Amino acid sequence: EDKVVQSPLSLVVHEGDTVTLNCSYEVTNFRSLLWYKQEKKAPTFLFMLTSSGIEKKSGRLSSILDKKELSSILNITATQTGDSAIYLCAVRDPGGTSYGKLTFGQGTILTVHP
């Protein structure tokens, strides 16, 4: 069974702090790792990682994949209250098909205080 574990499960910081969220996985056939941000309802897509060691960046957010360690980190610098959300990590295992399934971790609840 595919497994995705995120840590920490929750995190409380103050505006301006830098945070690092972790995601580790065990899947039979790895295709990609995805990060999502969920504020209220629908998760919104942040990054998709397929190659080890290549950083993806979007503003204050960045992420990198380590296939040797079966893990990924999501960094947020200079945090703002608007970064408060659940951050979800997911891994795709195609299982020999075009789509397969996406397995999510438990999520990290980030709270940023002013």
Partner 1 sequence: DGGITQSPKYLFRKEGQNVTLSCEQNLNHDAMYWYRQDPGQGLRLIYYSQIVNDFQKGDIAEGYSVSREKKESFPLTVTSAQKNPTAFYLCASSKPGQGNTGELFFGEGSRLTVL
Binding region for partner 1 (CB under 8 A): 1, 4, 6, 10, 31-32, 34, 41-43, 45, 48, 50, 86, 88, 90, 92, 97-99, 101-107, 109
- What is the smallest separation between the CB atom of 62 and partner 1, expressed in angstroms? 18
| Residue 58 CB neighbours (<10 A) | 9
- What is the smallest separation between the CB atom of 22 and partner 1, expressed in angstroms? 14
Of the CA atoms within 13 Å of residue 15, those in its CB half-sphere come to 5
Rounded Cα distance between 103 and 68, Å, is 19
Judged by beta carbon, residue 14 or residue 101, the one nearer partner 1 is: 101
